[in-house]
Structure 1
Amino acid sequence: MTPIADAPADAAGDIAFSPHLAGASILIVDDEPGMRNFLMRMLASRCRHVAEAADVAAASRLLEATPFDLIILDNIMAGRTGLEWLEELRGSGFYRDVILITAFADLETAIKALRAGAADFVLKPFRSNQILNAIARCLDRGRLLRENFVLKRELKTLPGGGPGIMAGASLSTHAVRSMIERVGPMPTTVLVTGESGTGKEVTARALHTVSPRAAKPFVPVNCAAIAPEIIESELFGHLKGAFTGAASSREGLFFYAQGGTLFLDEVGELPPAMQSKLLRVIEDKKVRPVGAEREIPVDVRLVAATNCDLADAVAQGRFRQDLYYRLNVVNIHLSPLRERAADVAPLARLFMDELSAQLGVAPLGLSDATLRDLARYPWPGNVRELRNVIERSLILGDFPRDVVPGDAEEDEEAFSQALDAVEKAHMLKVLGEAGGNRAEAARRLGVSRKTLDRKLKAWNA
């Protein structure tokens, strides 16, 4: 039996702490009962879930039933080595981190472990803090990679619009807030319906925020924006060589949302074949990466949204009835803004404060007359249009007259003055960033030095 050099928690060389360890699910695979017992005792009180297996056959059965965040894998075991099983795992679409432990190691084994996809390599005997440090590194790195992926994706796909949908005084908005508070903490699948721009994604985020999954990722997916031929790979991932252009294996969005919420916007646009596969994922809670032979368990809460009538799509044969029933366990319907005029004023004030701070300009006055005009406008683009109008008004210095009526001559003069003010502020900002160097500032602005000099002279700057 391999000797174990344990260390109490208060011993010299403090054990590293990972903020993600408490929520982690870890599988220990080792044929030595002493090593399994040692690791189980050490991790049971620190992690959400810990399981053990004496061989890779038992470990494979556990992986088919439970999603694990990390595997601690012994290399030298009876039957098959850990390295051989690790290579099989990577080939079957298992993407989570694996720490390889062994009492018999050399440089060649370490290199093979890293090439096979091991996240870390720990030599026996080891102390508690050594293995805990390795676990902490893996969990922190994995969490950071997933968060970076989600943030980059949101920067590319997130439409304009802040959390203002939750502001409002109408009975409709009060009902939505109550539904979110009631349903959010539950694991139930939710279907959010409403016209474009009513705030379906913000509602989904609110459901995630009040749920026990709030510390895990919220991953939004616009089903209409992904080409039908790649949507399966986007959602479920793929293995290297699974199709032309698959130069490497890749995790799908279900894996990035592990433990959290996956928001499927415009779900009615899913191709028929993908509808069938999504239904199976909901029922089995497993996904199969493209090119993989095995299914992998996932723990994800689904929130779907659509601006079309899914019941009508079912009647026309464009959407699977069984999938519709699985998605529509709870329906939250968002009324168009024209039907909830009482929400316009609080939303306008919220957007004015938020956007004036973002743009660095003074907020415009929202008089009672202006708010009445805003409330009378039909808002075909709903909350998103209201936000855009507030933003455009801040930039130009006045409200558009198709929304707030006014004098046309005064409008033209105000518009011209607003443009001059925006131009001046921008040029002076760029000049300051260039350290007062006018030639460099002109280059950055894309104007001639002569034009910049003339402008600055007119402004007495």
Structure 2
Amino acid sequence: MLHETAVTLDKPVDLAEYNWQAHSVLVVDDEEGMRHFLERTLARRCGMVQAVADAEHAAALMARLHFDLLILDIALPGKSGIEWLHELREHGYTGDVILVTAFADMETAIDALRGGASDFILKPFRVDQILNSIKRCFERARLARENFVLKRELAGLAADPIGLVGHSPAIEQLRGLIRRVGQMPSTVLLLGESGTGKEVVARALHHTSPRAQRPFVPVNCAAIASELIESELFGHIKGAFTGASESRNGLFYYAHGGTLFLDEISELPLAMQTRLLRVLEERKVRPVGSERELQVDVRIIAASNRDLAAEVLAGRFRQDLYYRLAVVDIAMPPLRRRAEDIPDLMRHFMQQLAVELGVAPLPLSHEVVSRLQAYPWPGNVRELRNFVERSMILGSFATEAFAVTTASAPPPAGELELTLAELERRHIERVTEACAGNKSEAARRLGVSRKTLERKFAEWAESVRQQEDEGRRARLQGLERRA
């Protein structure tokens, strides 16, 4: 009987970055002490560990359960570990196998590796030896999965690098623009409401460009604190500011040779707009705290849900940067102008979400589609996706869900005279009221960010103040005229 003294104990291996709980291991060894040792060692780390004494019992377990990794002794009673390994490979088992043995020569090792063993370890071994070998197997499996997923994504891109859903005239026109503009090196500015798919179009422009094999790096300018945006984009050196304990490259560096997508660019502070303009003109970045400039080759695609021309007039956006970005500007069509795409979009989202949620797609009825096509969708495609996800979770396109997201009853006569902006405001206020004033929940249901919702309310409050000021001025002028 083998005791733990036969295994050299060493300092523990730091493998916290690996998700061992996602993996299952089968130990096959006729020595009871070794089986118990490996079972106890791995049970604390892996999602499932089973241990048996021979290939026959192991085969019975594998007929019922999936194992990502086998730890297999060579000298087993009956069928040897190498013989069984050859059989496993012949029958299509693709998982990793680590062979262990107390007696081996060069010929045995070669036979093991030819049979498809992932590693070959001699007993007695150290704890860190077996753990590092397992780590390598798990990492190899992870890379294989990621490679498989990436190949499928690339195959999909090869078939349709644009990847837009729908066949409305607005989408067909957008596809044509992407095919033409994607091939050009020029800077592109995407303008449109929140949730219209600006990042989808930015990726399509990248994938149809000569830079398609290089990085696509998206960054949401609104999601980064103003004091950190320069470091995030340009990088910094160690000690450049409090907390900069080490040097770090910026996103321009990582996008070198590819495309940098600056979403919500209207949220950049004015000082940062000046620095960005300089980078666009000189194609050089200077990390924070550094005296050295780095040459960068990056195509810029920017996006905003605000009217940047109006932001320029208001003094919130640099005019020269606006003209530098808007070499080619593309207006994103809102969902209400491509309502005929709603059935295609819903099927697309349901196929995606069926995998993510583990539920079946819902049947689409003519009544449901008609009601959705009559709705103005202030949150656009993002709001539609959120609605589909919520419906799939609930198991149906429920009436109560429509009560929050659609106006099923005919609108009051007065509402027929409202402008689209006024109708949007009323809908947002109703949804926020239905969420008991919880703006985070209202933003989620509308398919917009909380920051966008806050800005809407701030703009309306400012509009009210301006109207009140104009009213006061008019009353004062009236009093002066009377006097």
Could you state the TM-score of these two structures normalised by the residue count of structure 1?
A: 0.52
Pick aligned residue for 2:198 from 196, 200, 207: 200
Give, in whole Å, the separation in 2 of the partners of 1:392 and 1:348: 12
Q: Quote the offset at 1:280 in angstroms.
A: 0.7
Which aligned pairs between 1:84-99 and structure 2 lie closer than 5 A?
none
Going from structure 1 to structure 2, the CA distance change for 1:367 and 1:321 (only over 3 Å counts) comes to same
Q: Quote the offset at 1:401 in angstroms.
A: 2.7
Partner of 2:296: 298
Q: Aligned pair 1:242/2:240, yes or no?
A: yes
**Structure 1 contact 183–207 (Cα < 8 Å) conserved:** yes
**Structure 1 contact 234–253 (Cα < 8 Å) conserved:** yes
Partner of 1:288: 286
Q: Aligned pair 1:270/2:271, yes or no?
A: no
The one-letter amino acid of 1:244's match is: T
Q: Quote the offset at 1:349 in angstroms.
A: 1.4
Going from structure 1 to structure 2, the CA distance change for 1:320 and 1:405 (only over 3 Å counts) comes to closer
2:245 is paired with a residue whose SS is coil
Pick aligned residue for 1:324 from 322, 325, 328: 322
Give, in whole Å, the separation in 1 of the partners of 2:188 and 2:407: 41
Pick aligned residue for 2:359 from 352, 358, 361: 361
2:262 is paired with a residue whose SS is strand
**Structure 1 contact 239–248 (Cα < 8 Å) conserved:** yes
1:219 is paired with a residue whose SS is strand
Q: Aligned pair 1:226/2:227, yes or no?
A: no
Which aligned pairs between 1:118-267 and structure 2 lie closer than 5 A?
166-267=164-265
Give, in whole Å, the separation in 2 of the partners of 1:318 and 1:255: 28
Partner of 1:435: none
Give, in whole Å, the separation in 1 of the partners of 2:163 and 2:210: 22
Give, in whole Å, the separation in 2 of the partners of 1:194 and 1:221: 17
**Structure 1 contact 165–198 (Cα < 8 Å) conserved:** no
**Structure 1 contact 217–258 (Cα < 8 Å) conserved:** yes
Q: Quote the offset at 1:406 in angstroms.
A: 8.8
Partner of 1:401: 402
Q: Quote the offset at 1:369 in angstroms.
A: 2.1
Give, in whole Å, the separation in 2 of the partners of 1:362 and 1:262: 37
Q: What's the CA shift string for 1:222-248, capped at 9, x where partnerless?
A: 111111111111100011111111111
Give, in whole Å, the separation in 2 of the partners of 1:164 and 1:398: 31
1:263 is paired with a residue whose SS is strand
For structure 1, list consecutive stretches of 5 or more residues without a partner in the other structure: 1-143, 152-162, 408-461
**Structure 1 contact 193–331 (Cα < 8 Å) conserved:** yes
1:401 is paired with a residue whose SS is helix
Give, in whole Å, the separation in 1 of the partners of 2:206 and 2:402: 39
Going from structure 1 to structure 2, the CA distance change for 1:196 and 1:288 (only over 3 Å counts) comes to same
Give, in whole Å, the separation in 2 of the partners of 1:306 and 1:226: 15
Give, in whole Å, the separation in 2 of the partners of 1:303 and 1:230: 21
Partner of 1:315: 313
Q: Quote the offset at 1:368 in angstroms.
A: 1.9
Partner of 1:338: 336
**Structure 1 contact 304–327 (Cα < 8 Å) conserved:** yes
Going from structure 1 to structure 2, the CA distance change for 1:165 and 1:269 (only over 3 Å counts) comes to farther
Give, in whole Å, the separation in 2 of the partners of 1:406 and 1:187: 47
Give, in whole Å, the separation in 2 of the partners of 1:249 and 1:317: 35
**Structure 2 contact 217–251 (Cα < 8 Å) conserved:** yes
Q: Quote the offset at 1:256 in angstroms.
A: 0.8
The one-letter amino acid of 1:401's match is: F
Which aligned pairs between 1:7-22 and structure 2 lie closer than 5 A?
none
Going from structure 1 to structure 2, the CA distance change for 1:406 and 1:321 (only over 3 Å counts) comes to closer
**Structure 2 contact 162–208 (Cα < 8 Å) conserved:** no
Superposition RMSD in Å: 2.3
Partner of 1:454: none
**Structure 1 contact 165–383 (Cα < 8 Å) conserved:** no
For structure 2, list consecutive stretches of 5 or more residues without a partner in the other structure: 1-142, 151-160, 410-483
Q: What's the CA shift string for 1:263-313, capped at 9, x where partnerless?
A: 000101111111111001111100011111121100111000000011011
Give, in whole Å, the separation in 1 of the partners of 2:350 and 2:371: 16
Give, in whole Å, the separation in 1 of the partners of 2:342 and 2:266: 29
Q: Quote the offset at 1:405 in angstroms.
A: 8.4
Give, in whole Å, the separation in 1 of the partners of 2:375 and 2:344: 15
Q: Quote the offset at 1:352 in angstroms.
A: 1.5
**Structure 2 contact 236–287 (Cα < 8 Å) conserved:** yes
Give, in whole Å, the separation in 1 of the partners of 2:375 and 2:324: 38
**Structure 1 contact 217–256 (Cα < 8 Å) conserved:** yes
Q: Which has the higher contact order (CA 8 A, sep 6+)?
A: 1
Going from structure 1 to structure 2, the CA distance change for 1:359 and 1:320 (only over 3 Å counts) comes to same
Q: Quote the offset at 1:350 in angstroms.
A: 1.0
**Structure 1 contact 191–304 (Cα < 8 Å) conserved:** yes
The one-letter amino acid of 2:300's match is: L
Going from structure 1 to structure 2, the CA distance change for 1:198 and 1:405 (only over 3 Å counts) comes to closer
Pick aligned residue for 2:380 from 379, 382, 403: 382
Q: Quote the offset at 1:363 in angstroms.
A: 1.1
Give, in whole Å, the separation in 2 of the partners of 1:359 and 1:227: 33
Give, in whole Å, the separation in 1 of the partners of 2:162 and 2:260: 21
**Structure 1 contact 164–350 (Cα < 8 Å) conserved:** no
**Structure 1 contact 221–265 (Cα < 8 Å) conserved:** yes
Q: Return the index of the structure with the highest Cα Rg.
A: 2
**Structure 1 contact 337–379 (Cα < 8 Å) conserved:** yes
Q: Quote the offset at 1:215 in angstroms.
A: 1.4
**Structure 1 contact 180–206 (Cα < 8 Å) conserved:** yes
2:402 is paired with a residue whose SS is coil
2:177 is paired with a residue whose SS is helix
